[in-house]
Chains A and B, each alone.
Chain A
Amino acid sequence: MAERGITPSQTVGPFFAYCLTPEAYDARGIAGNEIAGPDAAGQRIHIEGRVLDGAGEPVPDAMVEIWQADGEGRYPEAPGNAAFRGFGRAETDVDGRFVFVTVKPGPVPGPDGAPQAPHIGVSVFARGLLNRLATRIYFADEPANEGDPVLALVPADRRETLIARAVSQGVYGYDVRLQGEGETVFFEI
Chain B
Amino acid sequence: MSQTPGRAYPRESLAAHPPNDAPAYASTRLRAPRRPLVILPHTLTELTGPAYGHDSVAEGENDLTLGHAGAPLGERIIVTGRVLDEDGRPVPHTLLEIWQANAAGRYIHVNDRHDAPIDPNFTGAGRVVTDASGGYAFTTIKPGAYPWRNHHNAWRPAHIHFSLFGPSFVTRLVTQMYFPGDPLLGLDPIWQSIPDARARERLVSSFDIETTKPEWALGYRFDIVLRGRGATPMEDPHHG
Complexed CA–CA distance, A38 and B87 (Å) = 41
Q: Cβ of A163 < 8 Å from any Cβ of B? A: no
Q: Cβ of A128 < 8 Å from any Cβ of B? A: yes
0/1 string, A1-32, CB within 8 A of B gives 1: 01111111111111111111010110100110
Q: A130-B25, A188-B40 are in contact. Are A7 and B16 (CB under 8 A)?
A: yes
B152 contacts across to A, CB distance below 8 A: none
A129 near B20 with CB under 8 A, answer yes
Across the two chains, which residue of chain B brings its CB closest to A125?
B174
B18 near A2 with CB under 8 A, answer no
Q: A53-B30, A108-B43, A130-B18 are in contact. Are A7 and B50 (CB under 8 A)?
A: no
A30 near B97 with CB under 8 A, answer yes
Q: Cβ of B53 < 8 Å from any Cβ of A? A: yes
> Which listed residue, A54, A86, A154, touches B50 by the CB 8 Å rule?
A86
List the one stretch of B70-78, B134-142, B211-219, B226-234 in contact with chain A.
B226-234
A131 near B20 with CB under 8 A, answer yes
B123 near A18 with CB under 8 A, answer yes
B226 near A6 with CB under 8 A, answer yes
Interface residues of B in 88-136 (CB under 8 A from A): 88, 95, 97-99, 101, 107-112, 123-127
**Residue of A22, A78, A86, A179 ringed by the most chain B CB atoms within 10 A:** A179
Q: How many of B's residues come within 8 Å of A, CB to CB?
A: 86
B109 near A6 with CB under 8 A, answer no
A3 near B18 with CB under 8 A, answer no
Across the two chains, which residue of chain B brings its CB closest to A2?
B86
0/1 string, B167-185, CB within 8 A of A gives 1: 0011011111000000000
Q: Cβ of A185 < 8 Å from any Cβ of B? A: yes
List the one stretch of A39-47, A109-117, A164-172 in contact with chain B.
A109-117
Residues of A within 8 A of B (CB): 2-20, 22, 24-25, 27, 30-31, 53-55, 57, 59, 61, 65, 67-69, 75-80, 85-87, 108-111, 116, 119, 121, 123, 125-134, 136, 149-150, 153-154, 158, 178-180, 183-189
Residues of B within 8 A of A (CB): 1, 10-14, 16-20, 22, 25, 27-35, 37-46, 48-53, 55-56, 84, 86-88, 95, 97-99, 101, 107-112, 123-127, 161, 163, 169-170, 172-176, 190-191, 193-194, 196, 198-200, 202-203, 224-228, 233, 239
Q: Which 8 A-B pairs have the closest CB atoms?
A: A128-B27, A128-B31, A19-B99, A87-B50, A19-B125, A187-B40, A15-B109, A188-B37
Please name 18 pairs of A and B residues whose Cβ atoms are closer than 8 Å in the assembled complex, sorted by A: A2-B228, A3-B86, A4-B84, A7-B16, A18-B108, A19-B97, A59-B31, A75-B44, A79-B56, A108-B44, A116-B43, A128-B31, A150-B40, A154-B38, A179-B31, A183-B35, A189-B46, A189-B170
